Amino acid sequence: MCCFSRHVQKVADTSIFARAAKGNSQFLVYSMILAAKDELAMILPIPTPRASREDVVRFISLKDYPNFFRDMARPFLPPLTRGKGKSKGDKSDDKPKLKVVQVGSFVASFVPAIKDFARLDEQFRLPAGTWDKLPTYKDYGFAVFKLKAGEKKIHPMAFEFPRADPKKLFFPTVHIHDGKVHKTATFDHALYCQVKDEDVTSWKESPRLASSFMRIAKTAGLVDKDGHVYRLVMKGRKTNKDTWLV
């Protein structure tokens, strides 16, 4: 799920990368083009084990690799044609504030449970009652990124989190862009992954290993240099739900 604490004017060109990490953990990288009048937060519910500690999410800076997804898309682009160029809740005011982490150009926090949103500043929370409409996420944790106003390409946001179900690879693709929960949404997503046993029969495989098109030294261990990358493009009006690989 990708949701915002305030109204957004535009969200486009979303890219998400997922890969299993050591143990029961998963890597997740998220990027998009965003336009908003006000400072706001992007909130990503993530399927962490119930009652996780506040320090279980490791945020990873990719500020020095803003072209992470541009490079990842390269092996999937059509070949050049000669002469034609490139194809285009609960009150907890008495509780301490949640820890914030500087991650490249962002300030990020991990919110262990819905009740802990009261420990964030009000402009970085969803409207009261929103989570009541989303019972699926009652046991999730939440990665929160505070974003500035204006229109910009958001450099990749990356982190590692423990999974409640280590057999599933998770992509947060549900939309909440206006404080409301809709059954369908307009998708403009490119999903990428590196997998072991997950079913990617409907995904397109890169013809080469990741080391041939990614700047591996700048990926902070997020990308397996000896693995292929798989891509699934999601565009148009679709059921508003998250995406899983099993």
The string of pLDDT tens digits covering residues 160-179 is 999 999 999 999 998 876 66
Q: What are 208-216's contacts with CB under 8 Å, separation 24+? A: 208/75, 212/75, 213/71, 213/72, 213/74, 213/75, 214/68, 214/71, 214/72, 215/65, 215/71
Decide which of 202 and 78 is more confident: 202
In this prediction, residue 131 has a pLDDT band, given cuts at 50, 70 and 90, of confident
- Structure confidence at residue 183 (pLDDT): 85
Region of 51 please: left (phi>0), alpha (psi -120 to 50) or beta: left
- Structure confidence at residue 75 (pLDDT): 97
Q: Are 184 and 239 in contact (CB under 8 A)?
A: yes
In this prediction, residue 151 has a pLDDT band, given cuts at 50, 70 and 90, of low
User: What SS3 state is found at 226?
Assistant: coil
Range scoring the smallest mean pLDDT among 12-16, 56-60, 131-135, 226-230: 131-135
Q: Please give the domain boundaries of the chain with CATH numbers for all domains.
A: 2-79+98-245 (2.60.40)
- Structure confidence at residue 6 (pLDDT): 79
* First-last CA distance in the chain: 18
Mean per-residue pLDDT, 185-203: 93
The answer, yes or no, to whether residue 239 has pLDDT greater than 80, is yes
Decide which of 67 and 127 is more confident: 67
The answer, yes or no, to whether residue 84 has pLDDT greater than 60, is no
Q: What is the pTM of this model?
A: 0.86
**Hey, what are 173's tokens?**
């693709």
Mean per-residue pLDDT, 146-164: 86
Distance CA 8, CA 180 (A): 12
In this prediction, residue 81 has a pLDDT band, given cuts at 50, 70 and 90, of low
